[in-house]
A and B are shown apart, each in its own frame.
Chain A
Amino acid sequence: MNSWVLTCLWLIPAAPFAASLIILSLSKARRKSAVALAIIGEVLALALSILAFMPTLQATGFRAVQNFNWFTFGEHTLRLGFLLDPLAAAMLVMIALVGLCIFVFSVGYMADDKNFTRFFAYLSFFSGAMLGLVIANSLLLLFIFWELVGLASYLLIGFWIEKPSAAAAAKKAFITTRIGDMGFFLGMLWLYDCSGTLLFYDSGNGCLESAGLAMLGASATFIALLIFCGAVGKSGQFPLHVWLPDAMEGPTPVSALIHAATMVAAGVFLVARVYPLFSVDAINGVTPSLTVVVWIGVTTALMAALIAIAQEDIKRILAYSTVSQLGLMMVSLGVGGVAAGIMHLLAHGFFKALLFLGAGSVIHGCHGEQDIRKMGGLRRLMPVTFMTYAIGMLALSGVPFSFSGGWTKEEILHATAQWPKSQAPYYLLLAGVVLTALYMTRQMIYVFFGNGRSASERAHESPRVMTMPLIVLALCTIFFSVVLTSAWPWLHGYLTGEPVHIEITRLVQPMLFVSLALVSAGVVIGVWMYRKAGVQDRDRPAEIDPLEYAQPGVFEFLANKMWIDDLYDHTVIAFSWMAARLSDWMDRYFWDGLVRGFGGVGQLFGILTASVDERGINAGVDETTAGARGLGRLMSGAHSGQIQTYLGAVAIGMLALLLLYAWLA
């Protein structure tokens, strides 16, 4: 059943790609056709994804591989392939579903934009590339789609191209992720060199299969870390996270789709995909490369959560929250909870898309205002947005029971607690949970509660085309938890291939109470801290953040993103720019100067030669000439003009020759 989908996996990314190409060739005015094409492409992709999802349910550990030759160079062939396993299938469905919601939302959100058609072309292009990424069975093919989603991200961040800040953010995103990609590229080359193939699974010969892994030896750690560089760049992990908050310059649906739900999670997906590389020679599930992953993840999770507390832009807060959540997933992968990490990825995809779309709805309702201090009291004005946003907020904060994020976060904490190497990540993550609840509460209070401020005066609820996706995503967020609970961890079993049974008693675990307590603590602290946010409180002016009032130093540190961007500006970027100027200078003056110096030496030599000529040789020539003239004058006497004299001379000459000949003979 459904076998044709397995042989035609390429159709899944091809549908949105084709839609994108057709839309690009349409004229600007054909908005309706563009939307129709984009949505048809996405629906097709979703349908195919679900069709592809079906067979993976039938057998545990299902894996369908379809390899093909890309090209032959010399006597060797480069092969690529597509792969369908539970990881890919789950990702496919999530991406296509979230994508579809965001497409629909965009119809309303972008309704007034003059480059409407181009937007949908880019969006479809991204969707295709992302779908291709998850079903790639070759690190090279994955890299190709990886770069293409990067391109789509670049184009979409800079979509409002007349805004200089958007263009700068796009450039920053492109370059920052490319730094990581270069590591990925090198890791890929190294892997190719060691294992001789880039196919993940190739009936026993793939690089992720035991035979291939055995060939790696000690270099596995380095390969894994280099590939992880790519993940760091793409998933906004410290120290390459700086691009992600700036990427919020793009339209909000883009932030939702690319910079929250799907593309940024590709780094996590990549690590999960090549997990066998990370766990080569693992002792107790710990390897040097995984340890690095854990600590990068922990650093990112905490740092981003802290920064999020002091941001004013509704989208930036969510962006830092995304960075933080991605850090959390990395930790999960690092400590060995691959399934937990992916589950969180999927859940995060839904609720973060929901949050971003909610934020988009808020921004739309507030006529483009993004500063949370200027909002307030939107609860009554935008009820649907408020309700759905609240669901997303609870899921993100990690409230269990009926919110998917809670279950997956709990599972991650569980896995982290069991990490044999250190308990520190576990406790740091617990702190992160509190912080997450705190900054989300702050945001909720600022945006939806309290009195209305400047931006919310003319606010209105968004049209149905925008609220519908919110509702769908909210429902997904809630109902997704059905397959996540510890009583029936179906998704866990699906991903790991372990058998699963229902056991209600497992629902209640110590970890549940720990996380519930922490989340409550976070929410309570948040409510207490920000209860008077946005209004005059004693001698604190209304527009000053309570934390800023209480701890101006700390707040400034966090509000300025821990000075990391500035640090980069003054070190890495300044240094590179200096290197560039130096190279140019060297070229213009040193190397060219060297050449000119040689030229000058030649010229000097020329001058020297000329003077020798003038004084020495020329003088000699003059003398000779004078002598010759004298001689000539002498000789001209013999030229009598008398023909007979000449002839006589000839005769004498002949005579002389004759005599000479005779004498010689």
Chain B
Amino acid sequence: MTPTLQVFLIISATLFSIGLLAVLSRRHAIFILIGIEIMLAAANLNFIAFWRFGPQPQPPTGVMIALFSIAIAAAEAAVGLAMVIAVYRHYHTTNVDQLDQLRG
């Protein structure tokens, strides 16, 4: 069988859900970051897939957006991890359960 667009999208959805799972369920800040990265990668996969299965020939828009998105994700990861370190320094914990100063 030749994989169709649907298959790729389902894989992307699966990855997204896994990322979401990590974000929502794990208490450690780094896991949340990992989850976010996975979700972003899933989104990129979507872009590439739509580009690949879209009507041809066309400008490589999907690819480009994926590229930019990767760059932005990298930046986000860098800042996010820096924040984790900063938070850890301040609160001596990386457990997000304990970071509830925003409680109303």
Give Cα A636 to B23, complex, Å.
Answer: 23
Determine the residue in chain A with the shortest Cβ distance to B23: A647
A651/B20 contact (C-beta < 8 A), A641-B99, A642-B96, A643-B99 known: yes
Interface size on B, residues (CB 8 A): 13
Query: Scoring A residues 368 to 391 as 1 if CB is less than 8 Å from chain B, else 0, what string do you get?
Result: 000000000000000000000000
Give Cα A648 to B21, complex, Å.
Answer: 10
Give Cα A392 to B35, complex, Å.
Answer: 134
Contact across chains for B103 and A639 when beta carbons are under 8 A apart = yes
Interface size on A, residues (CB 8 A): 13
Contacts of B101 in A (CB 8 A): 641
Chain A nearest Cβ from B98, distance in angstroms:
10
Contacts of A648 in B (CB 8 A): 24
Determine the residue in chain B with the shortest Cβ distance to A639: B104
B1 at the interface (CB under 8 A from A): no
Determine the residue in chain B with the shortest Cβ distance to A644: B24
Chain B nearest Cβ from A127, distance in angstroms:
102
Give Cα A635 to B104, complex, Å.
Answer: 9
Contacts of A203 in B (CB 8 A): none
A644/B104 contact (C-beta < 8 A), A651-B20, A651-B24 known: no
Give Cα A381 to B96, complex, Å.
Answer: 135
A637 at the interface (CB under 8 A from B): yes
Query: Scoring B residues 91 to 104 as 1 if CB is less than 8 Å from chain A, else 0, what string do you get?
Result: 00000110111111
Chain B, range 54-104, C-beta contacts under 8 Å to A: 96-97, 99-104
Determine the residue in chain B with the shortest Cβ distance to A640: B103
Chain B nearest Cβ from A380, distance in angstroms:
127
Chain A, range 643-659, C-beta contacts under 8 Å to B: 643-644, 647-648, 651
Chain B nearest Cβ from A331, distance in angstroms:
112
A662 at the interface (CB under 8 A from B): no
Contacts of B97 in A (CB 8 A): 642
A643/B103 contact (C-beta < 8 A), A648-B24, A651-B20, A651-B24 known: no
Determine the residue in chain B with the shortest Cβ distance to A632: B104
Contacts of B100 in A (CB 8 A): 640-642
Chain B, range 6-31, C-beta contacts under 8 Å to A: 20, 23-25
Give Cα A643 to B23, complex, Å.
Answer: 10
Give Cα A651 to B100, complex, Å.
Answer: 20
Contacts of A644 in B (CB 8 A): 23-25, 32, 96
Contacts of B23 in A (CB 8 A): 644, 647
Of the residues A635, A638, A640, A647, contact of B24 by C-beta under 8 Å = A647
Contacts of B96 in A (CB 8 A): 642-644
Determine the residue in chain A with the shortest Cβ distance to B27: A644
Chain B nearest Cβ from A566, distance in angstroms:
96
Interface residues of B (CB under 8 A from A): 20, 23-25, 32, 96-97, 99-104
Q: 29 A-B Cβ contacts within 8 A?
A: A635-B104, A636-B104, A637-B104, A639-B102, A639-B103, A639-B104, A640-B100, A640-B103, A641-B99, A641-B100, A641-B101, A641-B102, A641-B103, A641-B104, A642-B97, A642-B100, A642-B103, A643-B32, A643-B96, A643-B99, A644-B23, A644-B24, A644-B25, A644-B32, A644-B96, A647-B23, A647-B24, A648-B24, A651-B20
Across the A-B interface, give the 7 residue pairs with the lowest CB-CB distance, nearest first.
A639-B104, A641-B100, A641-B103, A636-B104, A641-B102, A648-B24, A644-B24
Having A642-B96, A643-B32, one finds 19 other A-B pairs with CB under 8 Å, namely: A636-B104, A637-B104, A638-B104, A639-B102, A640-B100, A641-B100, A641-B101, A641-B102, A641-B104, A642-B97, A642-B100, A643-B96, A644-B23, A644-B24, A644-B25, A644-B32, A644-B96, A647-B24, A651-B20
